[in-house]
Amino acid sequence: MVVTTTDSVLETVETVYQSDSRRVLATLIRLLGDFDVAEEAMHDAFRAALEQWPKEGVPGNPRGWLVSAGRFKAIDGLRRQKRFDSLDEEGQQVDVAVIDSAAWADAESVEDDRLRLIFTCCHPALAFDAQVALTLREVCGLTTEEIGRAFLTPATTLAQRIVRAKAKIRDARIPYQVPAPAELPERLEAVLRVVYLVFNEGYTASSGAALTRHDLSAEAIRLGRLLVELLPAPEAVGLLALMLLQESRRAARTSPSGEIVLLDDQDRSLWNRAQIAEGSRLVRTALESRRFGPYTLQAAIAAVHAEAPEASATDWAEIVGLYDALLRLDDSPVIELNRAVALAMRDGPEAGLAAIDEIDRRGDLKDYRLVHAARAEFCRRLGRTTDALAAYKKALVLTRQEPERRFLERRIAEIGR
């Protein structure tokens, strides 16, 4: 026991809350078998710490103390509920000495608790938007108000989603466990999808005035790091790399007045070198595993951009090759569109235009604003102003993003001159 002043103890409780409340919650869910009971127990435990630590000192293993205290409070509460008419009142103080340590002794279980929590929140039997909300609430500790603001969704809607998801976990008996090796790849895919959506929601807000909502991206990167620490699968590493490499360009991708700056026109001295170095290193690790997937390949593409000292020095041949590999894993028209853009850079705008015509022929992306924006860009470079103008106007109708709208309007005005 360390004897300290009350103020510094309160500060310690706050620090432990920041660093460890999610771990405590994750273990309490396992021990108590219910999200809501565990959440209440965790808050009770921190309340007990606020009362007891100033008097008794900060315990040597604060997290262990909190888990034991939370468990004790929850069991005590259940017991009292069962015999509310009983006369013997139990002592209010938590006596850590009498709490069985079995729950805490198994260090491996405790480490796995955070993974259990992540996999349970991202269980594919839950609706996707519920997976996202639940992960941000339970794994990241965001409030429903914070999540609501970030997703431009009323907090009440989110609260309802979370309540429903917890009810399904309980009633359909979704187990609190890390999936078996046979199920792991698919289940990990679901987790990565949630993390990447959170990142993208922060990076390119799908609607609204602000182009970036930094907090969500930071939260996604934190989640990505946690996942890599707990389960260093190649695709988890690849996703973390991808997020870091995209994030590295944040300062350069909007002008001080909030206008979009395209990759080619970005001031590369604004790129975050530390994030690029870490991202590139992680990409190499993931690629060397030879068991990588689409996130790693996208990260590899981002790394090629990041490593070019200027736009004209970009290795477009390498990028086209990586898109080819990506298309073999996932033949989505959006990837095909990105490949068309890379192709235009390697072989000229005619080649890009031909690739887009091919996508159009299948009618896959006719309402996707970026197809029209890309077509417009190629036509503009070829001097086909009428076609460029028509395509920019189509893109303008389809965009819901304020900075993008201004960008397109600027282009239209430039051509019109």
Partner 1 sequence: MKYLCLVYLEQDKLHAVPDRECQACGDGFRKSGLLVAAEALEPIETATTVRVRNGKMSITDGPFAETKEQLAGFYLIEARDLNDAIQAASKIPPAREGSIEVRPVRQLNP
Judged by CB under 8 A, the stretch of 174-182, 195-203, 336-344, 367-375 that binds partner 1 is 174-182
* 164 in contact with partner 1 (CB under 8 A): yes
We find the least distance from the C-beta atom of residue 408 to partner 1, in angstroms, to be 36
| Least distance to partner 1, CB of residue 185, Å | 11
Contact 63, 85 (CB under 8 A): no
Interface pattern 298-337 for partner 1 (x via CB under 8 A): ----------------------------------------
CA distance linking residue 398 with residue 122, whole number of Å = 31
**Residue tagged 């939260």 (tokens):** 219
> Is the CB of 16 or the CB of 132 nearer to partner 1?
132
- Asked if 125 interacts with partner 1 (CB under 8 A), we say yes
Query: Cβ(388)–Cβ(376) under 8 Å?
Result: yes
Q: Tell me, rounded to whole angstroms, the distance of Cα 380 from its chain centroid.
A: 36
188 scored as a contact of partner 1 (CB under 8 A):
no
* Closer residue to partner 1, CB minimum distance, 175 or 232: 175
Distance CA 41, CA 279 (A): 39
| Rounded distance between C-alpha atoms, residue 39 and residue 277, angstroms | 39
**Residue 215 and residue 274 in contact, taking contact as beta carbons nearer than 8 Å:** no
Which phi and psi angles does 96 have, rounded to 5°? Answer: -60, -30
Residue 177 binding partner 1, by CB under 8 A: yes
Query: Contact between 127 and partner 1 (CB under 8 A)?
Result: yes
| Stretch in the footprint of partner 1 (CB under 8 A) among 101-109, 120-128, 307-315, 383-391 | 120-128
For the bound state, the minimum distance from the C-beta of residue 275 to partner 1, rounded and expressed in Å, comes to 34
Query: Binding segment for partner 1 among 169-177, 250-258, 335-343, 350-358 (CB under 8 A)?
Result: 169-177
Q: Of 337, 336, 266, nearest to 305 (Cα)?
A: 266
In whole angstroms, give the CA distance from residue 401 to residue 417: 25
Least gap, CB of 193 to partner 1 (angstroms)? 13
How many residues touch partner 1 (CB under 8 A)?
18
Shortest distance, CB of residue 220 to partner 1, whole angstroms? 22
Residue type, 407: F
First to last CA, the chain: 76
CB of 127 to partner 1, least distance (A): 4
- Nearest distance in Å: CB 39, partner 1: 21
**Long-range Cβ pairs for the range 406-415 (8 Å, 24+):** 406/259, 406/260, 407/259, 407/260, 408/373, 410/259, 411/376, 411/380, 415/380, 415/385, 415/388, 415/389
Query: What's the min distance (Å) between Cβ of 223 and partner 1?
Result: 21
Confirm if 16 and 61 have CB atoms less than 8 A apart: no
* Residue 156, amino acid: T
> Which residue from 7, 171, 310, 331 is in contact with partner 1, where contact means CB under 8 A?
171
* CB 82 to partner 1: min, Å: 18
Question: For 119-143, what is the HEC assignment?
Answer: HHHCCCCCCHHHHHHHHHHHHCCCC
Q: Does 277 bind partner 1 (CB under 8 A)?
A: no
- Contact stretch for partner 1 (CB under 8 A) within 132-140, 166-174, 354-362, 396-404: 166-174
Distance CA 28, CA 63 (A): 11
The verdict on 168 binding partner 1 (CB under 8 A) reads yes
Which one of 168-176, 202-210, 284-292, 343-351 is the stretch in contact with partner 1 (CB under 8 A)?
A: 168-176
* Identified binder of partner 1 from the candidate list 77, 124, 321, 333, rule CB under 8 A: 124
Task: Give the one residue of 173, 290, 361, 417 binding partner 1; rule: CB under 8 A.
Answer: 173
Six-digit token pair at 385?
A: 């102003």
- Kindly tell me which of 44 and 138 has the beta carbon lying closer to partner 1: 138
Residues that bind partner 1 (CB under 8 A): 124-128, 130, 164, 167-168, 171-175, 177, 179, 183, 186
